[in-house]
Amino acid sequence: MKYFVKKIITLIMTLFLVSVAAFLAFQVIPGDVVTSILGTEAPPEREEQLREELGLNKPPVVRYMRWASGVIKGDFGRSYRYSKNMNEMMPVKELIGDKLPVTLWLAALSLILIVLVSIPLGVLWARSTNRFVDAALNCITQVSMAVPSFFLGVLVTYLFGIVFHLFAPGGYISYHDNFKGFLGYLLFPALSIAIPKIAMTARFLRNSMLTEMKSDYVRTAYSKGCSKRRVMYGHVLRNAMMPVVTFLGMIIAEIVAGSIVVEQVFGLPGIGRLLISSINTRDFPVTEILILYITFVVIFVYFLVDILYRVIDPRISEK
């Protein structure tokens, strides 16, 4: 129990440090927000007024305190860049809330693809005694791991979009309009993210299983007369899956990062595109919250993996 409390405290501390770092970092960036909102031909009085409105006249500490207390209360501030209607700026919460499902579904779909393909593939590979199959899989996975997801995205676009017309490149369908169509479109970007990770996971599982198969208990099980099938699925796979679960947990962060790049390739309006545009347009309220959010997701996933690992493997005792 003490371990978890310690972990949670570290989690909160990290988030706090990241928020301070993110906040301070954007104080030093050149470029005037006011000009980018008002354009260059606005009268000086209007610029002054806006500075006042945005609280840009206050010292950084005051602004951080104001911002942080807002975030804790669930008020993430307003975008500098995007309007909600004629007179209001878009609240960051609403802005992200609209984009988040895209990225989350993309990440989820990728993860599902990875699990669905890599585990059977890894098992088959470990069981295969055919040298040719082994060499072929080795070759294919090596190459797949070397292809960056954005290039895969381009290849997928070319092959499935332009040659086979399975989807319309760039023709993203909003989840508001047609959820099935939305998932159908997301399948292709998800594929681009998943392929290298499938290769990685399959290799990892295969190696893990081969190690297990060499261990003493497997020999014992065979000598006791257990069927090969039972040994494979009852013992080897179960034990070999443990490190794979951790591995999957570790690559979730990479899937999230991968989806951010791939969103750009497929023109998906997810948080990745929002992050890049907010960086480019100096929409700090949005950038800060996004950084904080992604950090949170990453740390939280590791935290969960840690717990999960402790739950399935009782050998790791509490310190």
Name the segment binding other proteins (CB under 8 A); options: 123-131, 211-219, 220-228, 294-302: 294-302
Helices (H), 214-236: 216-223, 228-230
Q: Is residue 32 within the footprint of other proteins (CB under 8 A)?
A: yes
Q: Which of 68, 242, 245, 253 binds other proteins (CB under 8 A)?
A: 253
Mapping DSSP onto H, E and C, the string for 116-162 reads: HHHHHHHHHHHHCCCHHHHHHHHHHHHHHHHCCHHHHHHHHHHHHHH
Q: Which uninterrupted H or E stretch holds 104?
A: helix 92-127
Q: Is residue 104 within the footprint of other proteins (CB under 8 A)?
A: no
Per-position x/- string for 198-237, each x denoting binding to other proteins as judged by CB under 8 A, each - no binding: ----------------------------------------
Nearer to other proteins, 104 or 147 (CB): 147
User: Tokens 């992604």 label which residue?
Assistant: 294
Nearer to other proteins, 244 or 299 (CB): 299
Q: Is residue 20 within the footprint of other proteins (CB under 8 A)?
A: no
Name the segment binding other proteins (CB under 8 A); options: 110-118, 122-130, 239-247, 287-295: 287-295
Nearer to other proteins, 67 or 284 (CB): 284
Q: Is residue 100 within the footprint of other proteins (CB under 8 A)?
A: no
Q: Which of 186, 265, 289, 292 binds other proteins (CB under 8 A)?
A: 265
CA distances to 174, 183, 254 from 268, in Å: 9, 12, 18
**Helix, strand, coil % (nearest 5) of the chain?**
75, 5, 20
| Contact in structure between 274 and 263 (CB atoms under 8 Å) | no
Name the segment binding other proteins (CB under 8 A); options: 56-64, 148-156, 211-219, 310-318: 148-156
Phi, psi of 85 (to 5 degrees): -145, -150
Rounded distance between C-alpha atoms, residue 49 and residue 36, angstroms: 15
Size of the site for other proteins (CB under 8 A): 85
